[in-house]
Structure 1
Amino acid sequence: MSTGLRTARTARSWSQERLVREIEQYARRHVTDVASTGSLRVYVSEWENGKRAISDRYATILRRLLGITDTELRSSPPKTISTPATADGYDELLNRIDAAGSVSESVVKTFNDQTELLRTMDRQMGSAGLVDQMQGHLAALEDTLNFAVLPTARRPVALALAGASTLAAWQAIDSGAIERAWRHYELAKRAARDAEAPMYLAHAMAEQAYVLCAAGRPALGVELVRDAQRTLADAGSPRLRAWLHATEAELCAHAGMPDDCRRALEAAEAIIPATPEDRDPDMLSIFLNASHLTRWRGNVLALLGDDEALTSLYGALEVMDSTFIRAQAGLYSDLAQAHLARAEYDEANSHLRQARLLANRTGSVRYRRRIEQLSARL
């Protein structure tokens, strides 16, 4: 039985009929052949009930549509063909060690460039269609690190792996794959420790707190963020420290800690750099400037039901980068929540419609769930 297919389908609130339509639309966009509508209906039912194995061709389509890995899609991992070891494995081992030891700066730059490309595609189009690419990217990085012996070879690869793993984890959160997200964050933390990089470690720890929040343990998430701040101490850039305070504020809002929440917001606003640049040169995963923080402040105040949320959110809407598609879905969701707190249902409904369009465009399970929760209050 393919419980993974059923779980991913229901996470998107798709019926089996909707999944059939999505498969057909994918086939038309990519000029590929699939079975007839009637046959696809039978296939989907049989896949989910264990009466038919998912072929590799359909598995590729389903992974891209649903944003899941092959292991998550199938009831058991696909079988692999093992190859016999030669010379008791020592020759192969030494070849791998030699190859990892000779990784040049240009190769590491290629790894980081690929992470950046995946980050840009995720920001503009969503993560659902990137699962295979991201899994392959992480596997290549982890494989290189596993066979790098000396610190001079390990550290740059470990840094690249830490950055890529946190991106993969955030994409997994957005796809509703919480266990995968947790494992990616654990990989990111191990890589950051290997690289002796407290900024990367603190970032991974704080983002991992969102998994705890989504699982219903926001107070534990607050403690994890604060532990990340202690881990960083004064070693991080002002932008990263502001990001950590803003993360703490958001988690405190979810945990019902309004006073702590406001103190954390004030701390973030006190140290955010005044320049318009949003990218942290020391931590490329961080996008944060005063405008972004204004939007974040509105999000947090909306969670608290504070009337000041609307001022921050509408101000952020005016300067929002149009390429941050998923972030726009979040901003419109925040506006809807703020208007709901004021019983302004027409305005809330208007923003929810816009949020739903953008969330559907990126395939964001995380925002779709939030939109459904807010819609239930109308």
Structure 2
Amino acid sequence: MSTGLRSARTARGWSQERLVREIEQYARRNVTDVASTASLRVYVSEWENGKRTISDRYAAILRKLLGVIDRELRDTEPAPAAQSADGYDELLSRIDAAGSVGESMVKTFNDQTELLRTMDRQMGAAGLIDQMTGHLAALEDALNFAVLPSARRPVALALAGASTLAAWQAIDSGAVERAWRHYELAKRAARDAETPMYLAHAMAEQAYVLCEAGRPGLAVELVRDAQRTVGQSGSARLRAWLYAAEAEVCAHAGMPDDCRRALDAAEANIPPGPEDRDPDMLSIFLNGVHLARWRGNVLALLGDGDAVTSLYGALERMDPTFVRARAGMHTDLAQAHLTRAEYDDAHTHLRQARLLASRTGSVRQRRRVDMLSARL
């Protein structure tokens, strides 16, 4: 029985019939052949009941549609690599290849991460699963066989940035165990690169996994440990981001006073102006508009009526290419309106949030929408 396929499908809120339609639409978009509708219905049922093995061709389609890696789709563990009796030639070949990774190759890795980040922001993570998996594998391979620190550090830094992106994509896809493992990889890479800023960022984002797993108190401790890790050596934008993250997890932990203090600290640290990227911390997007949206999200979690004003102001000024973030903002507005018993407005924003979450394949946002819809 393929519980992986069934779990990924139900996490999206899709019926088997919807999955069949999505496979057919994918085939039309990509000009590829699939079985007839009647046959696909049988295939999906048999895949989920263990009566038919998912072929590699259909697995490639399903991974992109559902945003899962092959192991999650097929419920299998990766096979151990075959070992030869004498592997020194292969080992030295890999060491030589890793040693030849220069600045241009590292730049190519970083450019690929940035491209995947842009595509994820606009379209969602599901369709990028194979590209991201291959990208991480290439970076890990380059790092594993790089010997000297001068060769390891730039590759490790590139891996730290790519791993945090992959982890956040996994959270959005509902794959929390994969997200946790990616964050552990990001932390190891950041330590190898000797970059406290990237380490602190990975630690604070990992706190979201704890928070959504029902351990917000532990998440607060992890974010504060991240703040101590970077201290005053981090950029002002990163410190503002860490305070905002602390405020959000404090809200989930039922710590309103700590939450408001952290929000004030974030406001005090955010650099002025519209720029949202830090040259030393490209993984973070944060300026006054983003922080206003974040503040609205936190106030909505606290049940504060001022959340509506903050969120509407941020929505008007938000970059339209941040499609997934807009889905989150509409969800936040729905929650804020529900707190004020403004049910028509809440319903309007939930409808918008559901459409955008469906467009980006965000399991995380869909769950929030479903929970709030149950309150209407």
TM-score by length of 2: 0.98
Count, aligned residues: 376
Runs of 4+ residues deviating >3 angstroms: 77-82
Could you report, residue by residue, the CA deviation over 1:86-139 in whole angstroms, capped at 9, with x for unpaired residues? 8x1112211211111121100000000000000000000000001110000000
1:115 aligns with 2:113: yes
For residues 81 and 350 of structure 1, the distance between their equivalents in structure 2, rounded to whole angstroms, comes to 52
Q: Is the 8 A contact 1:108 1:156 kept in 2?
A: yes
Letter of the structure 2 residue corresponding to residue 38 of structure 1: A
Letter of the structure 2 residue corresponding to residue 145 of structure 1: L
For residues 100 and 26 of structure 1, the distance between their equivalents in structure 2, rounded to whole angstroms, comes to 37
SS of equivalent to 1:279: coil
Cross-structure match for 2:32: 32
Match of 1:235 among 227, 233, 236: 233
For residues 77 and 117 of structure 1, the distance between their equivalents in structure 2, rounded to whole angstroms, comes to 29
SS of equivalent to 1:283: coil
SS of equivalent to 1:286: coil
Cross-structure match for 2:271: 273
Deviates more, 1:70-79 or 1:238-247: 70-79
Q: Is the 8 A contact 1:355 1:371 kept in 2?
A: yes
Deviates more, 1:143-152 or 1:89-98: 89-98
For residues 235 and 4 of structure 1, the distance between their equivalents in structure 2, rounded to whole angstroms, comes to 43
Deviates more, 1:43-52 or 1:111-120: 43-52
For residues 91 and 56 of structure 1, the distance between their equivalents in structure 2, rounded to whole angstroms, comes to 32
For residues 222 and 345 of structure 2, the distance between their equivalents in structure 1, rounded to whole angstroms, comes to 36
Match of 2:144 among 143, 146, 160: 146
Cross-structure match for 2:362: 364
Could you report, residue by residue, the CA deviation over 1:151-180 in whole angstroms, capped at 9, with x for unpaired residues? 000000000000000000000000000000
Letter of the structure 1 residue corresponding to residue 200 of structure 2: A
SS of equivalent to 2:54: coil
1:286 aligns with 2:269: no
For residues 257 and 359 of structure 1, the distance between their equivalents in structure 2, rounded to whole angstroms, comes to 29
For residues 304 and 80 of structure 2, the distance between their equivalents in structure 1, rounded to whole angstroms, comes to 55
For residues 274 and 99 of structure 1, the distance between their equivalents in structure 2, rounded to whole angstroms, comes to 44
Q: Where do 1:194-209 residues align within 5 Å?
A: 194-209=192-207
Q: Is the 8 A contact 1:168 1:181 kept in 2?
A: yes
Please, which runs of 5 or more residues in structure 1 have no aligned partner? none
Q: 1:79 to 1:52 in 2, by over 3 A?
A: farther
SS of equivalent to 2:87: helix
Q: Where do 1:60-99 residues align within 5 Å?
A: 60-77=60-77, 82=82, 85=84, 88-99=86-97
Match of 2:243 among 242, 245, 255: 245
Please, which runs of 5 or more residues in structure 2 have no aligned partner? none
Cross-structure match for 1:56: 56
Q: Is the 8 A contact 1:305 1:341 kept in 2?
A: yes
For residues 81 and 335 of structure 1, the distance between their equivalents in structure 2, rounded to whole angstroms, comes to 49
Q: Where do 1:166-205 residues align within 5 Å?
A: 166-205=164-203
Match of 1:313 among 294, 311, 314: 311
Letter of the structure 2 residue corresponding to residue 60 of structure 1: A
SS of equivalent to 1:288: coil
For residues 68 and 315 of structure 1, the distance between their equivalents in structure 2, rounded to whole angstroms, comes to 35
Letter of the structure 2 residue corresponding to residue 112 of structure 1: N
1:355 aligns with 2:353: yes
For residues 298 and 81 of structure 1, the distance between their equivalents in structure 2, rounded to whole angstroms, comes to 49
| Displacement of 1:33 | 1.1
Letter of the structure 1 residue corresponding to residue 20 of structure 2: V
Q: Is the 8 A contact 1:70 1:77 kept in 2?
A: no
Could you report, residue by residue, the CA deviation over 1:173-213 in whole angstroms, capped at 9, with x for unpaired residues? 00000000000000000000111110000000000000001
Could you report, residue by residue, the CA deviation over 1:258-309 in whole angstroms, capped at 9, with x for unpaired residues? 0000000000001100121001111000100111101110110011010111
SS of equivalent to 2:282: strand
| Displacement of 1:81 | 8.5
For residues 255 and 65 of structure 1, the distance between their equivalents in structure 2, rounded to whole angstroms, comes to 34
Q: Where do 1:121-136 residues align within 5 Å?
A: 121-136=119-134
For residues 244 and 81 of structure 1, the distance between their equivalents in structure 2, rounded to whole angstroms, comes to 40
For residues 97 and 45 of structure 2, the distance between their equivalents in structure 1, rounded to whole angstroms, comes to 47
1:259 aligns with 2:257: yes
Q: Where do 1:211-222 residues align within 5 Å?
A: 211-222=209-220
For residues 80 and 202 of structure 1, the distance between their equivalents in structure 2, rounded to whole angstroms, comes to 32
| Displacement of 1:21 | 1.1
For residues 148 and 317 of structure 1, the distance between their equivalents in structure 2, rounded to whole angstroms, comes to 45
For residues 78 and 261 of structure 2, the distance between their equivalents in structure 1, rounded to whole angstroms, comes to 50
| Displacement of 1:85 | 3.7
For residues 342 and 265 of structure 1, the distance between their equivalents in structure 2, rounded to whole angstroms, comes to 22
- The Cα RMSD (Å) is 1.2
- Percentage identity across aligned positions? 82
Match of 2:336 among 335, 338, 346: 338
1:42 aligns with 2:45: no
Q: Is the 8 A contact 1:248 1:261 kept in 2?
A: yes
For residues 170 and 293 of structure 2, the distance between their equivalents in structure 1, rounded to whole angstroms, comes to 23
TM-score by length of 1: 0.98
